[in-house]
Amino acid sequence: MVEPLYIFLFAGIVSMSAALSAGALNKLPLEQKPGFMHKPNGQVTVVMAGNLGAITLLGAMAFGFLKLQWWIPLSCMFITFPVMHLLIFQRLLGDLKNLFLMLPLVVVAAVALYYYW
């Protein structure tokens, strides 16, 4: 059996990172947005990826509050997950690459949350 802490940390980090990257891409001025976001479907894809990350983050938080002590998910939500995204993923990959890397991981995290719930 996989430890619930590992599932929670994996699901929380990848989902918050995807949601924050999608939000950062949406806030860019029109001239700084990547080429595919100038088309309506590109913009919708980024918004839907951010929504999927946010919904998976809610599931990870519910899983964490259910399986772990209350202070672990609470502190991870406001300290660990954003710091990991800002200091590691955003600096190494940038928002666009990070979003496309994290999106399949978010789907894996959602399946893992469902399976181990």
Per DSSP, the residues of 100-111 read HHHHHHHHHHHH
d(CA 56, CA 89): 18
In total, how many domains does the chain have? Answer: 1
Chain centroid to CA 115: 19
Q: What is the pTM of this model?
A: 0.92
Q: Is the pLDDT of residue 89 over 70?
A: yes
Residue 116: pLDDT band by 50, 70, 90 thresholds? very high
Q: Is the pLDDT of residue 1 over 70?
A: no
Domain that holds residue 87: 4-28+37-116
